[in-house]
A and B are shown apart, each in its own frame.
Chain A
C-alpha cells in the first residue's frame, strides 16, 4: 500500500448519524483515498450464538484490523435456519465500521442536539495524543461505568464530573479511553472515597 498525503480533517470529520454507517464509511474512504484502499476478511468463526470475523482495512499506508460480530437471531420462528451468509455479511460490516473508527472517523452523536431551551454542557474534545486507541474518545461503556461506579459509591453526578475535571480538566464525556480507564480504576480502587 503506497503512502499518500491525506487530509486528516476530511477523514476524521464525524459521520452523519442518519443512515448506514457502513455506506457512510465506504463513502468517506472513497472521498479521501479514491480507489486506493482495501478491506478484507482475514478469518471468520461461527459460534453457537454469534459469528465473528477479523477484518482488515488498509488505506494511506496504514492497516487496521478489527473483529466484527453478529448475533445469530431469529425473526419469528426459532426453529427456522438463520442465513449464515447474512450473519457473516453483518459481522463483516461491523468489522469495517470498527476499522473505520480505528482510522479516526466516528458516528456524530452530537449532530442531532435539539434546540433545547436548557443549557447543555459542551465538553471540550479530548486531545489527540497519537498513542493509539488510548487517545480516542472514551467508549459509551466507559462513560456508563464512570457514572455507575460513582453512583454506587454514593457520589453525585456533579461529584463524578468534579473528579474528572480535577484530574484531566474535562468532563467525563470528553475523556480519552486511557483517561477514562484511569478514572474507572480510581473509582474502583478508592471506592469513590478520594
Chain B
C-alpha cells in the first residue's frame, strides 16, 4: 500500500512498471551500482556543501568540494561494498579527474543568488487545481536549491550530463513540473517561479549550463492526472516490462530476464 509518491517513483513507473516493482515493491537488492549514479550522487554532495556554505556567506574552497566528492565514493566502495559497473573504460581515478575539472568549472562559473534553501524536503497533497480532486497519497521529495533571483524565486535541480539538454526536455520534464506544483501549494503563482536545471557537463570543456523554464496551471493538471494514473497502476499491481534503450544499463536486467 502506498503511503506517498515521489517524482522518482512516478518516473520509474512511467519508464518501466516492472522495474518499479523490482525496486519499490519487491525491493530486490541491486547486483551492482552504475558508475554514473555514484558519480552524480558524489557531485551532488559536493554541490550541497558548496550551497550550504554560500547560504552562510562563506566561500567554499575547491579542496573541500573535492573531499566531499571523494568521501562519497569511499563510502560506496568500503561501507556499502557494492560492485560498481564502470563504462567506457572509466575508472574511479579517471572519474576523479573529471569531477575535479567539473567542480573547478562550476566554481569559476557559478553566480548564485541569495540562497533560500538547500535540499529542502517537502510533502504536499496532490490536487487537481481545477476540480480540486485529491489523490490519496501526498507527493514527497526534496528540492536541491531555492534561490532568490532578480526576477523572483528560482527552483533549481542539479544534474550531471554528457549531452546538452534539448528544449523539449526542459519544457516538459515532470520533475520541474512537480517542483513548480510544490511552490504553487505554498502560495506562489507558477508563472512567477523560474524553474531551472543547472547542469554540469562531463564532456569537452566541462561547461556549467543553466536551463530556465516555467510551468502553468495546465501543467499542474497534467501532473495530477499522471500521478493519479501511476498510483492506480501501482495499487492495481500493473507491473509489466517496458523495453527501451534504458534496458542496457538497468540494474534489474537479470531479474527481468527471469520474469
Contacts and interface: CB of A to CB of B under 8 A. Distances in A.
A151 B63 contact: no
Contact of A173 (B31, B61, B70, B105): B61
Contact of B84 (A18, A73, A121): A73
Give the dominant DSSP class at A's interface. Answer: loop
Contact of B68 (A76, A110, A144, A158): A144
Give the dominant DSSP class at B's interface. Answer: helix
Contacts, number: 97
B62 interface: yes
Given A109-B66, A158-B58, A73 B53 contact: no
A143 B71 contact: yes
B97 interface: yes
A17 interface: yes
A7 interface: no
Interface stretch (A38-46, A111-119, A124-132, A182-190): A111-119
Contact of A140 (B53, B74, B91): B74
Given A109-B66, A120-B61, A147 B93 contact: no
A121 B60 CA distance: 8
A140 B66 contact: yes
B87 interface: yes
Interface string B19-34: 0000000000001100
- Give the contact-size bracket for chain A: 35 or more
A78 interface: yes
Interface of A: 17-18, 20-21, 49-50, 71-76, 78, 90, 109-110, 112-116, 118-122, 140-141, 143-145, 147, 151, 156-158, 173
